Chains A and B, each alone.
Chain A
Amino acid sequence: MRIRVHKDNCTGCRLCLQICGISHYNEINPAKAALRIDAKFPNPGKYRPYVCTQCGKCEEACPEGAITQNNIGAFIVDKEKCTNCGACVTACPMDVVFQHPDLDHVIICDFCMKCTQLCNTAAIVEWEPKVKAATEA
C-alpha cells in the first residue's frame, strides 16, 4: 500500500498534517506528522506534498535495527530500540523522516491512510501498485 502524489492538486490546507498528528500522538500538532508540504510562493506559486515512497533507505541507515518493513509495506519504527540518532533522517531522500523535541524517536509514515481520506483534491491518494492503471484513470 502506498500513497500517490498528484502534486499540482495540493492546495496547502494541511488537513493531512493535522489528522496525522492527531491519529498518532493524540494532539493537534502538524509538526508531528509523517509527511510534509512545501509551499513555493510567489514562484512557481504552488504547493507540493512529500510522502514516504517506501524506498527503504531509512531501514538501511538505522544502526539499531529499529526500522523494519511490515506486511503493507510501511517502515515501522520500534520506539524502544530507536535512539533518535537521526541517521534515517539524513538518509531519507524525500525528507519525510521527522524528529520532534517532545519525542525520543523518529516519525515515519505507517500508511494508515487517514490523510488520503481527508484530502479533498486527490493530491495524495491511496495506491496499490498492482492496480496502478485503475488509480491513475
Chain B
Amino acid sequence: MTSHNMTSNNGLAGTTLKINLTTAEICKEPTDKELFRKWYGGRGVVSKLLYDNVPRDADPLGPENWFIVTVGVMSGCFSPAGSKIEFGSVSPLTNGHGDSNMGGHLGPMLKFAGYDMIIFTGISPKPVYLYIDNDTVEIRDAAEYWGMGSLDCEEKFKKNLGEDFEIATVGPSAENGVLFSCITHDFGRQAGRTGQGAVMASKKLKALAVRGNKGIKVHDLAALTKRNTDVILRTQNHPNMEPWQKYGTAFFIKWSNDNGVMPTRNFSTTHFDEIEKIDGDQLVDNCLISDKACFGCWMNCGKYSKAVVPGKPEVRVEGPEYETGSLCGPNIGMNDINHVAYVNWMMDNLGMDTMSGGGVVAFAMECFERGYITEEQLEGHTLKWGSIDDVEHFLDMVVHRRGIGDWFANGTKRASEKIGRGSEKFAMQVMGQEMSGYDGRWAPGMLLSYMTADIGAHHNRSWTITVDIAEGREEIAGRAPIVVYLQHIRPLFDVWCICRLFWGELDITPDETVDAFNDITGWGVTMEEALRTSEMIWNLNRCHYLERNKADGRTFDYPPARSWEDKIPSGPGKGKGVTKEQVEQMLDEYYAARGWDAKGNPTRELLEDLDMGFALEKLEKAGFVGKPLDGGIPAVRGEKYKPKAF
C-alpha cells in the first residue's frame, strides 16, 4: 500500500453534504478521505456508513434511516464508462443493507458541482427537492412536483431550471410507499433495486437537481488519459461492438430463451414460444428512436424507444432492456414489443422497479389464474397473462394501495403471506426481493447467486449463468467458490461507480480497471487488495442483515419451493431442475467457501482475518457469530474463474 499523494485530490471532489431534512439543516464537510481510502467509495462507503449509523431497530421508512447518494472515485473521471451514482439505505424491501446504482450523467455532474456524497437523514415536514448549482445548495419546495410521474417530473424540472441540470426523481409509487420503488434519471436510467425510491420519498424528497462546472483533480491525468484513450481506440472495432450498439442488453432476450432460462409466466417455465415478437430485432425495427449512452461510454447500449399501443397515448421510454424485457415480457405473457415497451413506460413513470414490478404482476397473474385472487378483489377486472389493460388497472391499484393492491405494493413475499394457500411456493423472491430475469432451475450457479446475494434475488452480484452454460448445467459441485469469487469481483464495479458491461463484452479486464483506479487515486491498490475489500463489504452486509433480522443466515437463503419442487415443463430445459438436497448441498458448499458456519453465519476467525473487529463485536452481541470451522477457514475465499461474459 502506498501513502496518499497529497498533491492530488485522489479523484474526489472534496466535499460531503450532510442534510437533516427534519430541520432543513445543510452541512458541508470535507470528504472523509480515510473512509474512501479504506472502503473505496460507492457501495463500500455506503455499506460502512449504514452499518455504523442506522440503528438496528430503525424503520427503513422512518427518520432514522440514512439515505446516501454517492459518486465513488472513478465516476465522472475519464475512466471506462465512469458514469454511475450509488444510492444506499436500509432497504424496506429486504430489511437489510440496501444499495442500487444507475448510470446516466447525474453522478459525474454531482462531482463537477464539487460533491462526493450527500447524506440525508430525518424527514422533511413537506415535499422538497434538493437544488445544487455548484456552491449553492438549497432545500426547495416541491409542492408543484409532488404527485407527478417520474418521467413527467424530470421534463418539468428541465423546463423550469434548464436543460443543463441533471435530475433524479421519484414517482407516485414511491410517494405512496410501494416498497419496490425506484429512482429515475435521464428519462430512463433507474436505481431500481432494494426500494431506494421508497426511502427517498419517505423523506419527502421528490428530486435532486444538480449542475456544476468544476474540474476533477486526479493523481496522474496523463497516464489515465492515455490508458482510457488506448482502451477506447483498441475496442472500437471489437466484434461485439456492433451487436452491442445495435441491440444493447435486449440482445440477450433471444439468447436467454434459446438457452432455456427465460422466466415465463411467473417462472412456471423457461421458454416463451412467441419470443420472436418481442426480441431485440423487434425492438430495433418497431420502437427505436435513438441510441443513448451514459457519461463516458462508447458502447451506447441505451435504446430510447416509443411504444405505440392502439387506444393508448404514444409514449417514450428508454428500453426495454433485458431485465425489463424478460420480466415484463414473457414473465407476464406479453407477446408484442410495443406492449412490453408500454408496460416499461408505465412502471418507469409510476416510479417502480420494472424487475420487481414484473415479478409482482406475474405473481398476481398466477394467483388470479389459480383463483387465489378474484375479479371482485380486482374491482371487476381480470388479470390475465399478456393483457395490457389488466396490467394497467392492476398497477393503478398497487400504486394507490387500493384494496388488494396494498398487499402487492409490499412485494411478492409479503403479498403471498396475505394470500396464503401455499402461494409462497411461487412468490419468486429471496429476502423479499424479486428475482431477476433468469430461471435458476437449469442454471444452479445462478440459483445459488440469487439465494446468497446480499440484497436478495438479484443477478448482478454474480451473473453466473454463463459459467453454468460453459461448465455443465447439471453440475452442482464446485459452483460455490466461483459464485463467491464473482460476488467479490463484480460488486467492485459498484464500489468504483463505473459500469461493468465493457468487461465481458469488450475484453477489458478488471486488472486494467484497477490500473485506472490507481491513476485516479494514486493509492497503489492491487487486485488482491481490491478483492479483499470487496469481501469485507460482503461480510459487513451479511453482519448487518443478521443483526437486523435476528436469525441465522441460512434461514434467509432459500429460494421459493418452485425452484426445487417443479421441473421445467417445456422448451429446451424440459424435465430439468434441481432437488431440495442439491439446494442444501450448494448452501453447505457456499458457506464453507466463505468461511461461514453451517448456519450461514460469519465465523470469528474470518472476521478477524478481515480485520473486522468492529463488526465482530456487534455480531457477537446479537448472538450470530458462526461456530468455528473444523480445519479453519479457507486461506482464500472464492476461486478465480475467467468469465466468458460480464
- Taking Cβ atoms with an 8 Å cutoff, the residues of A that contact B are 8, 11-15, 18-19, 21-22, 25-32, 38-47, 100-102, 117-118, 120-121
Contacting pair B233 A25 (CB below 8 A): no
Give the distance in Å from the alpha carbon of A20 to the alpha carbon of B218 in the complex: 16
Cβ contacts under 8 Å, A26 to chain B: 221
Contacting pair A27 B215 (CB below 8 A): yes
Give the distance in Å from the alpha carbon of A27 to the alpha carbon of B216 in the complex: 6
Closest CB-CB distance, A12 to chain B, in whole Å? 6
Cβ contacts under 8 Å, A118 to chain B: 229, 232-233, 298
Cβ contacts under 8 Å, A40 to chain B: 163
Contacting pair B163 A38 (CB below 8 A): yes
Asked whether any CB of chain A lies closer than 8 Å to the CB of B180, the reply is: no
Contacting pair B293 A28 (CB below 8 A): no
Could you say which of A28, A38, A47, A117 has the most chain B C-beta atoms within 10 Å of its C-beta? A28
Closest CB-CB distance, B296 to chain A, in whole Å? 6
Binary flags per residue of B256-297, CB closer than 8 Å to A gives 1, else 0 = 000000000000000000000000000000000111111111
Give the distance in Å from the alpha carbon of A11 to the alpha carbon of B292 in the complex: 5
Contacting pair A19 B78 (CB below 8 A): yes
Contacting pair A15 B221 (CB below 8 A): no
Contacting pair B316 A28 (CB below 8 A): no
Contacting pair B213 A13 (CB below 8 A): no
Point out the residue from A8, A15, A47 that lies within 8 Å of B298, measured CB to CB: A15
Cβ contacts under 8 Å, A21 to chain B: 215
Contacting pair A14 B213 (CB below 8 A): no
Point out the residue from A11, A12, A100 that lies within 8 Å of B213, measured CB to CB: A100
Chain B residue at minimum C-beta to C-beta distance from A100: B213
Cβ contacts under 8 Å, A44 to chain B: 289
Asked whether any CB of chain A lies closer than 8 Å to the CB of B214, the reply is: yes
Contacting pair B297 A13 (CB below 8 A): yes
Contacting pair B215 A29 (CB below 8 A): yes
Asked whether any CB of chain A lies closer than 8 Å to the CB of B151, the reply is: yes
Q: 30 A-B pairs, CB-CB below 8 angstroms?
A: A11-B290, A12-B293, A13-B295, A13-B298, A14-B105, A14-B295, A15-B296, A15-B298, A18-B296, A19-B225, A22-B78, A22-B225, A25-B215, A27-B221, A28-B77, A28-B215, A28-B216, A29-B213, A39-B163, A41-B155, A41-B187, A45-B187, A45-B289, A45-B290, A45-B304, A101-B213, A118-B298, A120-B236, A120-B245, A121-B291
Cβ contacts under 8 Å, B290 to chain A: 8, 11, 45-47
Closest CB-CB distance, B340 to chain A, in whole Å? 18
Contacting pair B300 A30 (CB below 8 A): no
Could you say which of A12, A25, A39, A44 has the most chain B C-beta atoms within 10 Å of its C-beta? A12
- Taking Cβ atoms with an 8 Å cutoff, the residues of B that contact A are 76-78, 105, 112, 151, 155, 163, 186-187, 212-218, 221, 225, 229, 232-233, 236, 241, 245, 289-300, 302, 304, 306, 316
Point out the residue from B232, B233, B296, B299 that lies within 8 Å of A14, measured CB to CB: B296
Chain A residue at minimum C-beta to C-beta distance from B317: A42
Give the distance in Å from the alpha carbon of A30 to the alpha carbon of B78 in the complex: 10
Cβ contacts under 8 Å, A46 to chain B: 289-290, 304
Give the distance in Å from the alpha carbon of A42 to the alpha carbon of B112 in the complex: 25
Cβ contacts under 8 Å, A41 to chain B: 155, 186-187, 304, 316
Give the distance in Å from the alpha carbon of A29 to the alpha carbon of B290 in the complex: 26
Cβ contacts under 8 Å, B298 to chain A: 13, 15, 118, 120
Given A21-B215, A41-B187, output 7 extra A-B contacts at Cβ < 8 Å: A11-B293, A13-B293, A15-B296, A45-B304, A101-B213, A117-B229, A118-B229
Contacting pair B294 A13 (CB below 8 A): yes
Cβ contacts under 8 Å, B296 to chain A: 13-15, 18
Contacting pair A42 B155 (CB below 8 A): yes
Interchain residue pairs A-B with the least CB separation, the first 9: A31-B213, A29-B215, A27-B215, A13-B293, A11-B293, A11-B300, A120-B298, A42-B316, A28-B216
- Known contacts A11-B293, A21-B215, A22-B225; decide if A121 and B78 are in contact (CB<8 Å): no
Could you say which of A11, A22, A100 has the most chain B C-beta atoms within 10 Å of its C-beta? A11
Cβ contacts under 8 Å, A102 to chain B: 215
Could you say which of A32, A102, A120 has the most chain B C-beta atoms within 10 Å of its C-beta? A120
Closest CB-CB distance, A58 to chain B, in whole Å? 21
Chain A residue at minimum C-beta to C-beta distance from B105: A14
Cβ contacts under 8 Å, B241 to chain A: 120
Closest CB-CB distance, B445 to chain A, in whole Å? 33
Give the distance in Å from the alpha carbon of A18 to the alpha carbon of B545 in the complex: 40
Give the distance in Å from the alpha carbon of A70 to the alpha carbon of B116 in the complex: 41
Chain B residue at minimum C-beta to C-beta distance from A27: B215
Give the distance in Å from the alpha carbon of A102 to the alpha carbon of B199 in the complex: 38
Give the distance in Å from the alpha carbon of A66 to the alpha carbon of B233 in the complex: 36
Closest CB-CB distance, B8 to chain A, in whole Å? 11
Give the distance in Å from the alpha carbon of A26 to the alpha carbon of B215 in the complex: 9
Give the distance in Å from the alpha carbon of A91 to the alpha carbon of B76 in the complex: 32
Closest CB-CB distance, B112 to chain A, in whole Å? 7
Give the distance in Å from the alpha carbon of A117 to the alpha carbon of B234 in the complex: 12
Contacting pair B151 A42 (CB below 8 A): yes
Cβ contacts under 8 Å, B233 to chain A: 117-118
Cβ contacts under 8 Å, A11 to chain B: 290-293, 300, 302
Could you say which of A8, A19, A102 has the most chain B C-beta atoms within 10 Å of its C-beta? A19
Chain A residue at minimum C-beta to C-beta distance from B291: A11
Contacting pair A28 B76 (CB below 8 A): yes
Closest CB-CB distance, B546 to chain A, in whole Å? 41
Contacting pair A30 B216 (CB below 8 A): no
Chain B residue at minimum C-beta to C-beta distance from A8: B290
Point out the residue from A13, A31, A117, A120 that lies within 8 Å of B112, measured CB to CB: A31
Cβ contacts under 8 Å, A100 to chain B: 213
Contacting pair A43 B316 (CB below 8 A): yes
Cβ contacts under 8 Å, A42 to chain B: 151, 155, 187, 316
Cβ contacts under 8 Å, A43 to chain B: 316
Chain B residue at minimum C-beta to C-beta distance from A120: B298
Contacting pair A121 B213 (CB below 8 A): no
Cβ contacts under 8 Å, A120 to chain B: 232, 236, 241, 245, 298-300
Closest CB-CB distance, A6 to chain B, in whole Å? 12
Give the distance in Å from the alpha carbon of A46 to the alpha carbon of B155 in the complex: 14
Chain B residue at minimum C-beta to C-beta distance from A41: B187
Contacting pair B215 A15 (CB below 8 A): no
Give the distance in Å from the alpha carbon of A121 to the alpha carbon of B294 in the complex: 14
Cβ contacts under 8 Å, B291 to chain A: 11, 121
Contacting pair A45 B221 (CB below 8 A): no
Closest CB-CB distance, B164 to chain A, in whole Å? 9
Cβ contacts under 8 Å, B225 to chain A: 19, 22
Cβ contacts under 8 Å, B236 to chain A: 120
Give the distance in Å from the alpha carbon of A43 to the alpha carbon of B213 in the complex: 26
Cβ contacts under 8 Å, B300 to chain A: 11, 13, 120-121
Closest CB-CB distance, A96 to chain B, in whole Å? 15
Contacting pair A28 B78 (CB below 8 A): yes
Contacting pair B229 A19 (CB below 8 A): yes
Cβ contacts under 8 Å, B186 to chain A: 41
Chain A residue at minimum C-beta to C-beta distance from B213: A31
Chain B residue at minimum C-beta to C-beta distance from A25: B215
Give the distance in Å from the alpha carbon of A25 to the alpha carbon of B218 in the complex: 13
Cβ contacts under 8 Å, A38 to chain B: 163
Give the distance in Å from the alpha carbon of A12 to the alpha carbon of B105 in the complex: 10
Give the distance in Å from the alpha carbon of A32 to the alpha carbon of B213 in the complex: 8
